[in-house]
């Protein structure tokens, strides 16, 4: 299980990443995250929405309601140009963290 | 899904979901959009799980469980809102970005009704500004004096036949007494006016000189342009107003020059000009043309005794440091009552009083014979009432058009609701739109007022030349009016519409603005206001016409008059004028209609009565064509007629004399007998009530007015002859006389002004009313265009269509006329009663005229619309969405 804090921290890049592949709505985004993490991320579905709303307010994503073919109305989210930039920054940051950790873990602990 | 539901008969998914959503709403962190988003999530999830084989109950439970704690989600969402947005930012952004656009769009969609709305409101707001300007001006009258709160006019009360009357003049010795006896009075000034002829070189004019104590210029704020104020201590100095300085000397500084003031025939004095006042503010009543030390009256009027309590001067002002001293001052003034009442026992003074300069103008209606006056009370009441009506009419026009247009925007509202607008948001949206529209109207109204209304209004009132468009109070008032108008006219449609269920809107089951009681009431209110407005205008115009064409009760058109300085002068002029061919009759008199009278107290056995006295020569009646009702006029040669009276009908009525002829009354201690009664005539203009009047036979040595009856055709020639004779006989004195009808020039000008004002008001009312109706019916027909197109294809003619439209408004229109016209009449009577002693008698003509005008307006509006429909191709009408 991935810890709550780490999950929370990674939600933003994950959402931006998913939306970069195509517009989507809340339920589908969650479903996708769950699939990708294989259920390993400690997540409650509801937690996603405040994050989405915050991203929208920050201008990283935008939304509009769509009625597609007789089904129920859905609020589709779309990544904005700003969001794409942000995603690049996030990627760089996560890679740096990853690199630091990798370096640490590749080196054998020195004997004292 | 339906069979699943049967399996779990106990479980109601819909109910559970709405329960779940309810707990979301409780959190208040989410707007309607978010809640809907989450509802969709839950439904998607549940459906998926059911698809995987779970029961409805299990699916719902699993979905909610995975969704997690609502509390936590709410907390996150809430911190979101808090972190990023404030109410202001929401309002600001949404308003500007969103509502502005939608407002403009919906305005452009219906440019005509938008124009009607905005224009109507703009006119109303412009009218508000005029009213504000007027009242601002009026309340500012005589309030520019720095000491306005320390200066008081002394008044006294007299009990007349059980009625306390307040007088603004003062016994002549009062000022000196006050100054000597009371130490808490800082300054005292007497003010008295007298007529004089002023001469400088070739410039000779009749003028009025104001005699004051030197303290006058210390108390009142009349700064000087040239010269020094203290020069008033010198009794040989005179101070001019700027206007007089211009009249006699042009741009030149006249200080040091000498002018001659001539009183009557023999008395004259040369004054040295020692000062010229700066231009007076427009908002003033108390001012002066020539200002001289009051001591001069001893020279000019040797018989005027300043120690005589029987003599009155026009005004006595005091200045106190501390207005709270007034009570004790009044206390100490009690003793003066006795001085006065000893000599004037007919109407003993009951008390002295004071009114501050600050309040004097407004209090003047209640004070007789005072130096100030209040001629604008009807304006102060009438203008706000008229403006209120215009504003109300504009608001109702607006309201009704707003309701109809809102009904056309139901789908938009439904859509907004679906995508997450809460009720509150829709209300805000509508109000914001409304406010935006009102503020646009406000700007246009302001421009309209500044460029059209105010200049027009100042054409017959003094107000606007000094009216400050940047006055912060005006802006505040304007803002409040706009805010009020915007909210008042928008609140109902906003709340009403926001209540609708989106689903019902889309289903088409919501009908708005047709069968609803409130909208019917609003529509009726609009029509009633329309009726009142039009009725008001018609009746008011009718009254002006009526007053303008009223008879004066004597011959005004064929009479000339001249006012001389001595009786012997009169004889000379008379002798010249009898020779003139066009002169039919001549008469001398001491008093003269519309020019001069005396106030006399007559004593009857049981009480006394104040009347107006006209002392006239025996030929006066025939010369001026007063009509005898019974008895006779005076006999010129009868010594006994020195003790005879001719009275007017009002005199007979107010004393309820059954047998006026022969009735004995006493004036001072002389017994008089009534020998004749004349029909009522108007001594004063029609603003004033008829007063009881008596005619006495004037002593020939006291006759100063020459009255000439002339042939209407050669009237002008006679006038010229009169003037020529005057110049020949009295080259030193400027001509003083004219056409009798010209004595009321001011009144007729006033009436004319009022007519112009009424006409304009009427035009505004009719315009607003027609525009309102036009907008409403136009929208209504537009909304029913499909129906009409179908009717047309089925063979309906324009008459049928018109019937159909008219039917809809018939009842409401009937109610409006029945309620509106009498309301207009009541309003009018109140207004006119304030102005005229004897307003237009009630007639059906006004009601009929207003109704006809209304029906014409309505018919014209409907006709144009029906024509449009008949002319259009029904196919186009059917295509309309």
Q: What is the pLDDT of residues B470-508, one digit of tens each?
A: 778 888 888 888 888 888 778 887 887 777 777 777 776
The dihedral region occupied by B497, where left means phi > 0, alpha psi between -120 and 50, and beta the remainder, is alpha
pLDDT of amino acid B145? 94
Query: Are B623 and B747 within one domain?
Result: no
pLDDT for the residue numbered A112: 46
User: Is B161 an 8 Å CB contact of chain A?
Assistant: no
C-alpha count within 13 angstroms, C-beta hemisphere, residue B520: 10
- DSSP letter at B838 equals S
B44 contacts in chain A (CB < 8 Å)? 27, 72
User: Can you say whether the dihedral through the CA atoms of B815, B819, B825, B828 is positive or negative?
Assistant: negative
pLDDT (0 to 100) of residue A8: 79
Q: Identify the band that residue B209 occupies on the pLDDT scale cut at 50, 70 and 90.
A: very high
Residues B622 and B548 in one domain: no
Residue B157 lies in a domain: no
- B146 in a domain, yes or no? no
DSSP H or E segment with residue B727: helix B715-729
Model confidence at B596: pLDDT above 80:
yes
Span A76-87, average pLDDT = 91
Q: In this model, does residue B589 exceed pLDDT 90?
A: yes
Q: How far apart are CA B365 and CA B360, in angstroms?
A: 9
B26 and B93 share a domain?
no
Mean pLDDT over the full length of chain A:
84
Selected for mutation to probe chain B from A50, A58, A72 (highest B CB count within 10 Å) is: A50
Going by C-beta distance under 8 Å and a sequence separation of 6 or more, which residues neighbour residue A100?
none
B312: left (phi over 0), alpha (psi -120 to 50) or beta: beta
Dist. CA B120–CA B764, nearest whole Å: 9
Instruction: Give the alpha-carbon dihedral of B864, B869, B873, B878, to 10 degrees.
Output: 150
Asked which of B42-46, B70-74, B211-215, B286-290 is least confident by mean pLDDT, the reply is: B70-74
Kindly report, residue by residue over B529-539, the tens digit of the pLDDT.
Answer: 888 877 777 77
Residues of A in contact with B420 (CB under 8 A): 65
Question: Is residue B342's pLDDT more than 90?
Answer: no
Does one domain contain both B217 and B347?
yes
Torsion on CA atoms B391, B393, B394, B398, rounded to nearest 10: 130
Using CB atoms, pick whichever of B43, B68, B420 lies closest to residue A45. Answer: B68
Interface of A with B in 82-111 (CB under 8 A): none
The answer to the question of residue B499 being in a domain is: yes
| Residue B72 to residue A44, Cβ atoms within 8 A | yes
Is the minimum CB–CB distance between A27 and chain B shorter than 8 Å?
yes
> Is residue B533 a part of any domain in this protein?
yes
3-state SS class at B185? strand
Question: B17-26, pLDDT tens digit by residue?
Answer: 888 888 888 7
Task: With cut-offs at 50, 70 and 90, classify the pLDDT of residue B90.
Answer: low
Q: How far is CA B795 from the centre of its chain?
A: 54
Contact: A26, B69; criterion CB under 8 Å: no
Which tokens in the block code for residue B846? 């006004």
Q: Same domain, yes or no, for B333 and B387?
A: no
Let me know whether B589 and B708 are in one domain: yes
pLDDT at residue A46 tops 80: yes
Q: A74 CB near a chain B CB, below 8 Å?
A: yes
Q: What is the pLDDT of residue A66?
A: 82
> In terms of DSSP H, where are the helices of A21-80?
26-37, 48-57
B511 or B413, greater pLDDT? B413
| Cβ of residue B45 closer than 8 Å to a chain A Cβ | yes
Report pLDDT for B4. Answer: 43
Q: Which domain holds residue B583?
A: 565-735
Reported confidence tier of residue B236, pLDDT bands at 50, 70, 90: very high
Cβ neighbours, 10 Å, residue B801:
22
Distance from CA of A74 to the nearest CA of B (A): 7
Q: Is B147 contained in some domain?
A: no
**Cβ of A44 and B85 within 8 Å?**
no
Average pLDDT over residues B584-608: 88
Q: Does residue B557 lie in a domain region? A: no
Which residue in the block uniquely carries the two structure tokens 């020094």? B228
The answer on pLDDT for A56 being more than 70 is: yes
Which of these ranges, A4-8, A16-20, B585-589, B721-725, has the smallest mean pLDDT? A4-8
Q: In this structure, what token pair is assigned to residue B657? A: 């004399």
pLDDT at B208: 92
B843: pLDDT confidence band, cut at 50, 70 and 90? Answer: low
CB proximity B90 to A under 8 Å: no
In this predicted model, what pLDDT tens digit does every residue of B107-161 receive, in sequence order? 777 777 778 778 888 888 888 888 888 888 888 889 999 999 999 999 999 887 7
Interatomic CA distance for residues B240 and B280, integer angstroms: 12
How far does CA B448 lie from the centroid of its chain?
Answer: 19
In this predicted structure, what is the pLDDT of residue B705?
A: 94
Residue B8 clears pLDDT 50, i.e. is over it: no
Say what the pLDDT of residue B350 is: 87
Instruction: Please give the Cα distance from B240 to B851 (Å, whole number).
Output: 56
Chain B residue nearest residue A42, CA to CA? B66
Structural domain contains residue B80: yes
Statement: residue B5 has pLDDT above 70: no
B45–A44 CB contact, under 8 Å = no
- Residue B232 is predicted with a pLDDT of 93
Give the DSSP letter of residue B596.
B
For B14-28, B57-71, B501-515, B545-559, which range has the lowest pLDDT when averaged over its residues?
B501-515
Q: Do A58 and B70 touch (CB under 8 A)?
A: no
Note whether B237 and B315 are same-domain residues. Answer: yes
Judge whether B152 lies within some domain: no
The rounded percent of chain B whose pLDDT value lies above 70 is 94
A62 touches chain B (CB under 8 A): no
- Residue B648, both tokens: 């007017």
Is 70 exceeded by the pLDDT of residue B742?
Answer: yes
Tell me what pLDDT residue B314 has. 93
Percent of chain B exceeding pLDDT 90 equals 25
Question: Once rounded to an integer, what is the mean pLDDT over residues B749-759?
Answer: 79
Residues B219 and B247 in one domain: yes
Structural domain tally of chain B?
5
- Residue of chain B with shortest Cα separation from A57: B84
Do the interacting molecules here have an ipTM over 0.90? no
Lowest mean pLDDT among B193-207, B601-615, B749-763: B749-763
Rounded to a whole number, what is the distance in Å from the CA of B25 to chain A's nearest CA?
Answer: 14
Mean of the pLDDT values across residues B543-556? Answer: 83
Last residue of a domain, one of B368, B391, B415: B368
Same domain, B211 and B101: no
> Per-residue confidence at B260, pLDDT binned at 50, 70, 90?
very high
Task: Name the residue of chain A whose CA is nearest to B73's CA.
Answer: A47
B291-341 pLDDT tens trace: 999 999 998 988 888 888 888 899 999 999 888 888 888 888 888 888 888
Q: Is the pLDDT of residue B376 over 90?
A: no
Q: Same domain for B665 and B700?
A: yes
Q: What average pLDDT score do residues B547-567 get?
A: 87
- Is the confidence at residue B442, as pLDDT, over 80? yes
Same domain assignment for residues B42 and B114:
no
CATH class of residue range A4-106: mainly alpha
| Whether B700 and B770 share a structural domain | no
Mean per-residue pLDDT over chain B, rounded: 84
Pinpoint the alpha helices (H) of B274-376: 296-300, 326-332, 334-343, 357-363
CA distance B84 to A23: 24
CA of A17, closest CA in chain B: separation in Å?
20
Q: What is the dihedral of CA A18, A23, A27, A32, to 10 degrees?
A: -30
- Residue B381: which residues within 8 A CB-CB, separation 6 or more? B831, B834
A51 to chain B, any CB pair closer than 8 A? The answer is: yes
């Amino acid at each position: 299980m991935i810890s709550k804090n780490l999950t929370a921290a990674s939600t933003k890049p994950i959402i931006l990443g998913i939306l970069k592949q195509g517009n989507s709505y809340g339920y589908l985004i969650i479903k996708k995250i769950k699939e990708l993490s294989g259920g390993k991320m400690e997540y409650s579905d509801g937690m996603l929405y405040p994050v989405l709303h915050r991203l929208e307010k920050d201008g990283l994503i935008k939304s509009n309601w769509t009625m597609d073919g007789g089904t129920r109305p859905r609020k589709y989210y779309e990544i904005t140009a700003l969001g794409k930039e942000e995603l690049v920054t996030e990627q760089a940051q996560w890679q740096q963290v990853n690199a630091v950790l990798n370096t640490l873990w590749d080196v054998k602990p020195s004997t004292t | 899904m339906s069979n699943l539901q049967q399996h779990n008969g106990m479980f109601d998914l819909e109910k559970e979901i709405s329960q779940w959503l309810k707990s979301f709403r409780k959190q208040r962190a989410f707007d309607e959009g978010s809640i809907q988003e989450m509802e969709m999530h839950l439904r998607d999830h549940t459906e998926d799980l059911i698809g995987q084989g779970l029961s409805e109950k299990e699916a719902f439970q699993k979905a909610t469980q995975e969704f997690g704690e609502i509390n936590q989600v709410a907390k996150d969402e809430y911190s979101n809102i808090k972190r990023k947005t404030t109410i202001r930012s929401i309002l600001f952004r949404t308003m500007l970005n969103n509502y502005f656009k939608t407002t403009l769009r919906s305005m452009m969609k219906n440019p005509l009704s938008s124009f009607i709305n905005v224009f109507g409101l703009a006119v109303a707001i412009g009218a508000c500004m005029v009213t504000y300007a007027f009242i601002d001006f009026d309340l500012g009258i005589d309030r520019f004096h720095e000491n306005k709160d320390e200066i008081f006019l002394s008044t006294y009360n007299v009990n007349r036949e059980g009625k306390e009357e307040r007088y603004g003049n003062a016994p002549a010795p009062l000022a000196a007494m006050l100054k000597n006896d009371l130490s808490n009075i800082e300054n005292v000034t007497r003010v008295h006016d007298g007529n004089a002829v002023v001469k400088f070189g070739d410039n000779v004019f009749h003028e009025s000189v104001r005699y004051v104590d030197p303290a006058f210029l210390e108390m009142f704020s009349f700064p000087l342009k040239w010269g020094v104020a203290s020069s008033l201590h010198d009794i040989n100095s005179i101070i001019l107003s700027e206007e007089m300085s211009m009249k006699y000397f042009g741009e030149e500084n006249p200080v040091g020059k000498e002018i001659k003031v001539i009183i009557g025939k023999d008395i004259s004095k040369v004054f040295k000009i020692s000062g010229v006042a700066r231009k007076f503010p427009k908002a003033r009543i108390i001012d002066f043309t020539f200002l001289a030390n009051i001591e001069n009256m001893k020279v000019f009027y040797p018989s005027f005794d300043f120690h005589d309590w029987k003599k009155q001067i026009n005004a006595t002002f005091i200045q106190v440091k501390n207005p709270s001293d007034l009570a004790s001052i009044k206390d100490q003034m009690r003793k003066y009552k006795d001085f006065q009442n000893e000599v004037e026992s007919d109407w003993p003074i009951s008390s002295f009083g004071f009114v501050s300069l600050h309040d004097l103008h407004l209090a003047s209606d209640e004070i007789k014979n005072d130096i100030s006056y209040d001629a604008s009370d009807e304006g102060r009441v009438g203008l706000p009432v008229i403006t209120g009506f215009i504003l109300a009419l504009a608001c109702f026009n607006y309201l009704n058009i707003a309701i109809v247009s809102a009904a056309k925007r139901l789908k938009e509202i439904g859509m907004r609701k679906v995508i997450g607008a809460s009720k509150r948001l829709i209300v805000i949206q509508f109000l914001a739109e409304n406010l935006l529209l009102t503020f646009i109207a406000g700007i246009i109204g302001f421009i309209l007022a500044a460029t059209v209304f105010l200049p027009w209004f100042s054409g017959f009132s003094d107000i606007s030349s000094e009216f400050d468009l940047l006055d912060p109070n005006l802006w505040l008032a304007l803002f409040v009016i706009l805010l009020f108008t915007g909210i008042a006219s928008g609140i109902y449609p906003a709340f009403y519409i926001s209540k609708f269920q989106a689903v019902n809107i889309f289903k088409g089951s919501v009908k708005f603005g047709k069968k609803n009681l409130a909208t019917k009431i609003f529509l009726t209110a609009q029509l009633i206001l329309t009726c009142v407005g039009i009725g008001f205008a018609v009746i008011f115009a009718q009254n002006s016409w009526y007053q303008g064409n009223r008879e004066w009760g004597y011959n005004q058109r064929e009479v000339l008059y001249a006012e001389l300085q001595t009786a012997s002068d009169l004889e000379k002029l008379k002798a010249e004028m009898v020779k003139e061919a066009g002169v039919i009759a001549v008469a001398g008199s001491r008093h003269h209609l519309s020019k001069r009278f005396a106030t006399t107290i007559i004593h009857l056995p049981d009480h006394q009565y104040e009347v107006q006295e006209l002392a006239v020569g025996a030929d006066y009646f025939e010369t001026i064509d007063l009509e005898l009702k019974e008895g006779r006029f005076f006999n010129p040669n009868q010594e006994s007629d020195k003790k005879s009276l001719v009275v007017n009908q009002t005199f007979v009525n107010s004393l309820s004399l059954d047998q006026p002829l022969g009735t004995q009354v006493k004036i001072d201690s002389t017994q008089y007998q009534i020998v004749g009664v004349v029909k009522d005539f108007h001594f004063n203009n029609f603003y004033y009530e008829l007063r009881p009047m008596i005619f006495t036979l004037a002593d020939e040595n006291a006759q100063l007015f020459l009255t000439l009856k002339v042939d209407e055709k050669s009237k002008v020639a006679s006038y010229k002859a009169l003037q020529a004779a005057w110049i020949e006989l009295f080259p030193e004195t400027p001509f003083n006389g004219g056409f009798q009808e010209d004595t009321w020039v001011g009144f007729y000008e006033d009436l004319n002004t009022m007519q112009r004002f009424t006409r304009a008001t009427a035009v505004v009312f009719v315009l607003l009313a027609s525009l309102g109706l036009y907008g409403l019916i136009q929208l209504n027909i537009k909304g029913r265009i499909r129906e009409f197109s179908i009717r047309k294809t089925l063979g309906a003619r324009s008459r049928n269509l018109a019937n159909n439209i008219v039917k809809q408004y018939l009842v409401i229109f009937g109610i409006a006329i029945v309620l509106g016209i009498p309301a207009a009449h009541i309003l009018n009577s109140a207004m006119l009663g304030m102005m005229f002693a004897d307003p237009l008698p009630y007639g059906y003509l006004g009601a009929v005229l207003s109704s006809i005008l209304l029906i014409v307006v309505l018919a014209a509006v409907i006709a144009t619309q029906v024509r449009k429909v008949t002319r259009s191709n029904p196919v186009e009408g059917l295509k309309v969405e």
